């Protein structure tokens, strides 16, 4: 995902934008604030989706692998992330060092609605999950 709407974080009692079914304060909120690291690659991917949805570029950059992280990230203020579907996970658990999470993220932009389908790769750096890169599928 390369763009998103800028906005503010939901309150702790709002449903999390990642659509896990949990409240923001018990789901992605602690990840975005830096209070709790992601225990799995999927959890990190969900928190990165939420960061795109709320426009948190600082978190996106912090959770990106140092080798592949851009120097800066500009988000599209007209793009609104609407729905996240996790399609599959491969490894990426608490005892793994790498993992893949395939997802489809739906959005609305000036040109209409669309979706991003990606198989994202994650690895651990100094004990924390980070996003490495991904393959986008049309």
Query: pTM for the whole thing?
Result: 0.93
Mean pLDDT over 84-109 rounds to 97
130 φ/ψ sector (left φ>0, alpha ψ -120 to 50, else beta)? beta
Interval 34-52: pLDDT, tens: 999 999 999 999 999 999 9
* Domain range summary for the chain, segments of one domain joined by +: 24-137
Interval 58-77: pLDDT, tens: 999 999 999 999 999 999 99
Confidence of residue 138 (pLDDT cuts 50, 70, 90): confident
Confidence of residue 2 (pLDDT cuts 50, 70, 90): very low
Confidence of residue 4 (pLDDT cuts 50, 70, 90): very low
CATH assignment, 24-137: 3.10.450.50
């Amino acid at each position: 995902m390369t763009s998103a709407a800028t906005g503010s974080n939901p309150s702790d009692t709002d449903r999390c934008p990642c659509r896990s079914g949990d409240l923001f304060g018990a789901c992605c909120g602690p990840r975005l604030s830096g209070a709790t690291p992601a225990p799995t690659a999927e959890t990190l991917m969900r928190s990165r989706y939420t960061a795109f949805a709320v426009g948190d570029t600082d978190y996106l950059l912090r959770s990106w692998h140092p080798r592949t992280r851009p120097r800066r990230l500009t988000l599209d203020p007209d793009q609104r992330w609407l729905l996240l579907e996790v399609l599959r996970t491969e490894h990426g658990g608490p005892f793994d060092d790498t993992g893949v999470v395939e997802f489809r993220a739906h959005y609305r932009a000036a040109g209409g609605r669309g979706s991003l389908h990606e198989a994202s790769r994650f690895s651990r750096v100094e004990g924390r999950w980070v996003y490495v890169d991904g393959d986008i599928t049309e």
